[in-house]
Chain A
């Protein structure tokens, strides 16, 4: 997988921990916030989080690696999640998945070399009545065929320009 360096500030992580530390079950809240701010959960932030919440580094690492949403390395500017669960499969999700791989030139779980896109599988977006479904960042799309996939990806490029 392509490696990108992303600048992050330990002080920011410390202030996130500070903000949530009194809340019950704070670790999940902290990890979500760190990932939202930095885009991933840098390995070197683990000791900071652990110390701040009075947990072991192993405990923090264990939680990060348990959940599909948490990532220890940087991801693309846009995260494309293609649903591969049953309802979408019944409507051609596998064809869509193959198309996505071909169009982006990467396998599921990988980033494009330019750091633009990450392709991920997802098992249900709750849009089963409009299968096949996909989500780009936090935007949900329904009835996605290969053609619509291409136009959605194209519109991402345009939005930035």
Chain B
């Protein structure tokens, strides 16, 4: 039996991976070839998906992108013996895009069958949890703190401090909540963990639960990810059946269960307090802070809330020690960061690298420039609330502080590339419009400011009292940034102001107009 790997990650499926797998089975049957199909995760080289791999003599050989129509010719060329074909990519781990990465959190993505617990364990899974069960809660917190891990959901808050706060909070019961409401355009790393290595997330949540003594965990998953839901539920069922979850986790006498709860299409529920409201069955309205969720979170109880990537990185940190992880990265940005390359880029995909790599390396060396072949004009970093970077700022290193220094945010580390056909006044207007669509409505700067903001941009573009409206827009952005309750209203000015500063011509403005307007931030 030759093992043939066909990914079942959402993106691979969206490009026909299911039909490719079916065609391979049919063709093998017709030819009497012994083929075992393994539905692996994706390695994140999406321009090559569906990427089919064949295992011969313990080594894998990749072919891609494979369309259903290519299957017959692959058999003709004898791909089952790793023979050459026009879609040959060689050994997948030697493809430069992948070979140059540092895959820590994504070490298993694409290698394993994501819902096979045996495969997970064979590739180093559950070593972290076994270790955690021998440690005291304080020792677990110590390792997470030493690692320097900061919240990968966007805020970049030190994970160890969150855990310590929840650990020391006296109230019970305590909860572990995974924020899987990955709503930022250009971001798909959470989705990949859930679909391509879900046990890693489950293990990370279990370690968090062991640490603070939680018995119930929730994964708050956005409804736009139905395939993630299927994969998570398969993995959770398997983990429970095999005693990695349930009333006696690995014979430790500890109880821990995880339930997936679906969101309902509200972007704001990615904000942690709105998410808690939604989990409680209410409108996703942002809460005032304090109290911190670590002290009064879900149902008013101490709650660890972490993003998918943060939690999925914990097993490795506990297994190898905080210092191991801390060795990667620069400054106060430690470890690796799974960057996501999207939009108009020739080689979109997941690029996990140590902090410190520049945007230029990412966009050109990894991404290969635009998909359209036209010049790169702007790069939005960190989702819809992130700033637009012009070509001249692409040497900025990827690091929380360095990006903030350039008036941006790293956010969830998604990078969307635009070619020279983009109109930044349109994108700035869109940022305001998106805020208006998704605002929970609790605070005025976000609810009303976003609507007024779009109108003011229209007036600037139409050259109606341009300089006065520019000053007004600057003032509005200042109010939104400083007087909004949460990051939605607070950060919407970032894409708007960056578009104005770096691309004034798109608004019919000059650099002098911008300088005179004394924009905030």
Query: What is the interface of chain A, defined by CB distance below 8 A to chain B?
Result: 24-29, 31-32, 59, 62-63, 66-70, 83, 85-91, 122-131, 133, 135, 138, 140-143
Question: How near does chain A come to B310, taking the closest CB pair, in angstroms?
Answer: 18
Q: How many residues of B contact A (CB 8 A)?
A: 61
A-B contact pairs, 20 of them (CB 8 A): A63-B282, A66-B283, A66-B440, A68-B266, A86-B343, A86-B380, A86-B430, A89-B427, A90-B343, A90-B344, A122-B265, A123-B434, A128-B414, A129-B44, A130-B11, A130-B46, A140-B227, A142-B11, A142-B14, A142-B15
Cα–Cα distance between A62 and B380 once the two chains are bound (Å): 34
B188 within 8 A of A: yes
Residues on the A chain within 8 Å of B227, using CB: 140
Binding-face segment, B115-123, B126-134, B415-423: B415-423
Question: How near does chain A come to B181, taking the closest CB pair, in angstroms?
Answer: 11
Closest residue to B495 on the A side, CB-wise? Answer: A86
Residues on the B chain within 8 Å of A85, using CB: 185-186, 384, 434
B75 within 8 A of A: no
Select which of B46, B188, B280 is within 8 A of A25 by beta carbon. B280
Residues on the A chain within 8 Å of B416, using CB: 86-87, 90, 128
Select which of A24, A125, A128, A130 is within 8 A of B299 by beta carbon. A24
B283 touches A124 (CB 8 A): no
Residues on the B chain within 8 Å of A141, using CB: 14
Known: A66-B284, A128-B342. 9 other contacts (CB 8 A): A69-B223, A83-B185, A86-B186, A88-B185, A90-B342, A124-B182, A126-B187, A128-B416, A129-B11
Select which of B183, B262, B280 is within 8 A of A24 by beta carbon. B280
B282 touches A27 (CB 8 A): yes
B264 touches A68 (CB 8 A): yes
B10 within 8 A of A: yes
A127 touches B261 (CB 8 A): no
B10 touches A126 (CB 8 A): yes
Residue among A25, A122, A133 with the highest chain B CB neighbour number at 10 A: A25
B188 touches A31 (CB 8 A): no
Select which of A25, A83, A89 is within 8 A of B279 by beta carbon. A25
Select which of B191, B263, B284 is within 8 A of A126 by beta carbon. B191
B418 touches A90 (CB 8 A): yes
Cα–Cα distance between A128 and B226 once the two chains are bound (Å): 16
Cα–Cα distance between A73 and B112 once the two chains are bound (Å): 43
B13 within 8 A of A: yes
Select which of B13, B49, B185, B261 is within 8 A of A128 by beta carbon. B185
Cα–Cα distance between A141 and B430 once the two chains are bound (Å): 24
Question: How near does chain B come to A98, taking the closest CB pair, in angstroms?
Answer: 14
A32 touches B262 (CB 8 A): yes
Residue among A87, A122, A142 with the highest chain B CB neighbour number at 10 A: A87
With contact pairs A68-B265, A69-B223, A87-B343 given, residues A63 and B185 touching in the complex (Cβ less than 8 Å): no
Residues on the A chain within 8 Å of B430, using CB: 86, 89
A129 touches B266 (CB 8 A): no
B278 touches A28 (CB 8 A): yes
Cα–Cα distance between A28 and B275 once the two chains are bound (Å): 12
Residue among A85, A91, A126, A143 with the highest chain B CB neighbour number at 10 A: A126
Cα–Cα distance between A146 and B223 once the two chains are bound (Å): 26
Question: How near does chain B come to A91, taking the closest CB pair, in angstroms?
Answer: 6
With contact pairs A24-B280, A25-B279 given, residues A66 and B14 touching in the complex (Cβ less than 8 Å): no
Question: How near does chain B come to A82, taking the closest CB pair, in angstroms?
Answer: 13
B438 within 8 A of A: yes
Cα–Cα distance between A54 and B416 once the two chains are bound (Å): 46
Residues on the A chain within 8 Å of B427, using CB: 86, 89
B264 touches A67 (CB 8 A): yes
Cα–Cα distance between A141 and B19 once the two chains are bound (Å): 13
Closest residue to B379 on the A side, CB-wise? Answer: A90
Taken residue by residue from 42 to 55, chain B's Cβ proximity to chain A (1 for < 8 Å, 0 otherwise) reads as 00101101000000
Residues on the B chain within 8 Å of A143, using CB: 15
B98 within 8 A of A: no
With contact pairs A87-B416, A123-B434 given, residues A69 and B264 touching in the complex (Cβ less than 8 Å): yes
Residues on the A chain within 8 Å of B307, using CB: none
A123 touches B279 (CB 8 A): no
Closest residue to A94 on the B side, CB-wise? Answer: B426
B283 touches A127 (CB 8 A): no
Residue among B10, B279, B284 with the highest chain A CB neighbour number at 10 A: B10
Closest residue to A143 on the B side, CB-wise? Answer: B15
B371 within 8 A of A: yes
With contact pairs A86-B416, A123-B183, A142-B14 given, residues A129 and B283 touching in the complex (Cβ less than 8 Å): no
With contact pairs A24-B299, A86-B427, A90-B417 given, residues A128 and B371 touching in the complex (Cβ less than 8 Å): no
Cα–Cα distance between A158 and B371 once the two chains are bound (Å): 33
Residues on the B chain within 8 Å of A88, using CB: 185
With contact pairs A63-B283, A140-B10 given, residues A129 and B348 touching in the complex (Cβ less than 8 Å): yes
Cα–Cα distance between A128 and B267 once the two chains are bound (Å): 16
B340 within 8 A of A: yes
B297 within 8 A of A: no
